[in-house]
Amino acid sequence: MNDQKAYGKYVKSHAKKTKTALCCLKAFLSGGFICCAGEAFADIYKTAGAGEKNAYMFASVTLIVITALLTGIGVFDRLAKHAGAGTLVPVTGFANAMISQAIDAKSEGFITGVGAKLFTVAGPVILYGTAASVVYGIIYYIIKFAFK
């Protein structure tokens, strides 16, 4: 127990100090910018004649494609280094995680490298997303049945 306290003090004394307020501000602004860009794309698609549902779908796809391109050329990681957690807005963060895995595994081939590594990220998301939807569906059914 004494060694743990000593190690904790050692780590604390050598750790880089974080400017929490500045990190939060950067995350808020960068995440807000990404969300505003998504809304702007949706407005553009609505103006072009897409229905509301389709416009938001197209906006999400546009953000995914832009994130994939920026990740592929190495720009997204540099932006994320400065923007912080704001770049983890679900669509862009997930796209970056998927493309980064694919880039890292491309030397191993398409099946055993890219395909396998993509599912190390996507697999848990699909699994827990599906499980959560089943649980929420059961809860919804029970509440709907109970208050009929």
pLDDT digits (tens), the chain, 148 positions: 577 778 878 877 787 777 888 888 988 999 999 999 999 999 999 999 999 999 999 999 999 999 999 998 989 988 888 888 888 887 888 888 888 877 877 777 777 777 777 777 777 777 888 888 999 999 999 998 888 7
pTM for the predicted model, two decimal places: 0.69
CA distances from 110 to 89, 90, 114, 115, 124 (A): 28, 26, 5, 6, 20
The predicted structure's pLDDT at residue 1: 56
